[in-house]
Structure 1
């Protein structure tokens, strides 16, 4: 029996190049090796109370999953809110999670801002929901970027404290599946910040539905520096240039060092032109596929319905087990 892999992305806006290179193209490669569950985590999307078009965003996210190679015949694709066991297990696990663990989570500190008293309970406790997402399916591997290790460690801690409390080895402490060729793509405006759907500037990211003109314009205006050349040994001190070279490297499937050798004689203008052409060539088929899929919403709903049914085959049994372990009467 194949090990279970679980992962998900919030439907909080159009997915971008960072989502593609850091997650989606790698997810597609996992499908033939693992039993994959790829969720659209719409419950997480409301923690900041910013997103009013959740339904449209969910459909667009599902279309993007499909356009990037996620095969509904191989993997379960579903939105989180249609499987109520996620929220139910979140509550149960929250009763075993110390507040001190949540207070140390760095993402809450960054998202809550200076006035943490105004942040929602959902934003504070969402790492428990993330743990519930994973433990609900007893997933063994979670494909994440290196910056997400803290969430996996918290999930392992919650699994272990539950197991210890009931002196049982029920939950499998999951392992982070850090994909070595997974590119960490940064903002086009600030090479020290990750590319993000929530950034105020649309010029900070390449959206997967951007047309050719938009991509060319964004790369043209992407921040660089005044240093001439692309010396590999100097890239660590040039974050914006390093980011553009990293994008080129990931899309070309060659190392950053070899990319520097390839573009050694280029000036910044010529490099940006070639990079824009490369992105356009890679993303145009994805954009076209997304647009085609969005014309048939009934098909997208059927994919989510089928995926939710497959997910609930696993989750319904596991939530029943958990409640029996805790001691709730089962009718």
Structure 2
């Protein structure tokens, strides 16, 4: 059953009318078909108009939509012969971060990303995509493995942030995030990052220091969640919407600020409405990004990545 966001009330009503019309049994099928066509055109326009003027807070709601494609969906649709590689070889296997080797358009790649889960049971298993230190240490192991065997890396970012629990802090959460970020910068293979939903805080950056950082049109990427920002600045979550607008977290804002390199268009109404089109758009963007670095030397790839992030925020002072 379709899940609607609060700003989609008119869309929900119109889609309900279309379903009702299609279910009618009548001898006047021509008139019914004409009415359905008229309503579908109206729906298409309504979707375009609604999603063309989303606020930053609305974008967050879309990025968190429960039906939005997750890492497991991208692995299933974009990669073949995927072989998961588990564990950090030190403590445990963290299910919030999934990684492994697969083939993308016939080319061997290392895939690493956050998995939120798509129902109650899987969300609990994957800790809602919030990684513990062992998750980041697993990512480091896979980045280094890819570098050793000259395998390009593709990461998918979708997390509200790293897990803030006591156990995670005791096992060195901040250090693990820093080491993962360092590992991203150290490898000499092409490194492509795709922000597919939420890109929250250091938990996102730890997998997103790529040669190319691609971002879905309705994804968000921020140093802190709007709720967290509001609780610090205003001591209340009620100001989360104001924080969202101030943080410049949308793909458009971040592309303008040159934090991300490319915005991947989503189907009208968001990625959750058409997974097939979403997969094609993301697959094409990844393919183009990998092609861009296919003829560049290993040392140059590393150098370009370092320069890219060192120059970020440089205002010529």
> Same-fold call, TM > 0.5?
no
Whose RCO is larger (CA < 8 A, sep 6+)?
Answer: 1
Point out the structure with the larger strand share: 2
Point out the structure with the larger helix share: 1
TM range (shorter): under 0.3
